[in-house]
Every structure is written in C-alpha cells, then in structure tokens.
Amino acid sequence: MVGTSPSPLDIVRQFLAAMAIKDYDNGLRYIAEKCEYHNMPMAPVYGPAGVRAVLEPFFAPTLENEFVIRHAVADGPIVFVERLDRHRIAKGWVELPVCGVLEVHDGQITLWRDYFDAATLVDAWPELAALFG
C-alpha cells in the first residue's frame, strides 16, 4: 500500500493541535521558512522564528488553550478555518472568535492570516493592550 501525504486541512489541524498544547517544536515544523504569519491587527512576521516570537509570549500566561474548529474547508492548498480560540488564564477563560486563512504547500504552511477583533481580546484580557497599540 502506498502511503498518502496529509492534506492541507490535515496539516492545519495537526499544527493547531500542537500549538494548543504549546508544543512549539512539533507545531513549528509545519511552518515554512518563508511563511508569512499575519494577525491582522498586528504587523506580519516570517518563518518559524517569527511565529514563535509572537505566540510563545502570548501563550506564556495561559494555563490551557483550546482551538475549537467550528468550520474548516480546503480548496487545493488554501484552508479556511473558523475557530473559537479559548485561553484559560488565572482569572478564567478568554474566548476569541477567529477566522484563519492558511496556504499549505509540500506539507508546510506558507501563509497564515488570522482575522479577529482586537477589542474583544483586550476587553477580556487587558494585559494584552500593548500588543495592539
């Protein structure tokens, strides 16, 4: 039997699962060196180091993370994911509706854009206000 490569949607699901548990080494292997990661309220960053530089400090105070995938669809290399990102911090759960657009080539994410309302996040987690100016 010939092995099959994971689909772009599978890659995105595996990536999100690793990042939810802060398994950066495993998760970042899915990020291409030239990947553009853009949280729309912020400036874009590039490659695994850029993604880590954004997410590791963001997740540092979290006790638990959940990325609830509400809808996900792929068209070739393009993956759209509607999520509810849940972050448990000392004072309780912070929930953020997010829509992500990712592009996957040769098993790696080459583009990742997340769209969300920064005010929703800052209202629930005021310590993050500095991230958004």
Q: What is the CATH number of the domain that holds 116?
A: 3.10.450.50
Residue 23 C-alpha from the chain's centroid: 13
Is there a domain that residue 36 lies in? yes
pLDDT in tens, 8-58: 999 999 999 999 999 999 999 999 999 999 999 899 999 999 999 999 999
* Active site residue ranges: 85, 114
Residue 68's DSSP bridge partners are: 84
* β-strand partners of 86: 66, 95
Instruction: Output the pLDDT for position 41.
Output: 82
CA distance 85 to 69: 9
Q: Name the domain count of the chain.
A: 1
The SS3 call for residue 27 is: helix
**Does the residue 29 lie in any domain?**
yes
pLDDT at residue 129 in the model:
75
Look up the domain containing 28 and give its range. Answer: 8-132
Tens-place pLDDT, residues 71-121? 999 999 999 999 999 999 999 999 999 999 999 999 999 999 999 998 998
Per the domain annotation, does 1 fall within a domain?
Answer: no
Do residues 81 and 11 touch, judged by C-beta distance below 8 A?
no
**Do the domain assignments include residue 2?**
no
In terms of pLDDT, which residue wins out, 15 or 124?
15
Indicate whether 42 belongs to any domain.
Answer: yes
Instruction: Note whether residue 62 is domain-resident.
Output: yes
Residue 3 in this model has a pLDDT that exceeds 90: no
Residue 1 has pLDDT above 60, yes or no: no
Radius of gyration from C-alpha coordinates of the chain: 15
- CA torsion through residues 53, 55, 58, 61, sign: negative
Domain-located, residue 3: no
- Band (pLDDT 50/70/90 cuts) for residue 2 is low
Whether residue 107 lies inside any domain: the answer is: yes
Give the C-alpha separation, 76 to 56, whole Å: 30
Residue 61: band (very low, low, confident or very high) from pLDDT cuts 50, 70, 90:
very high
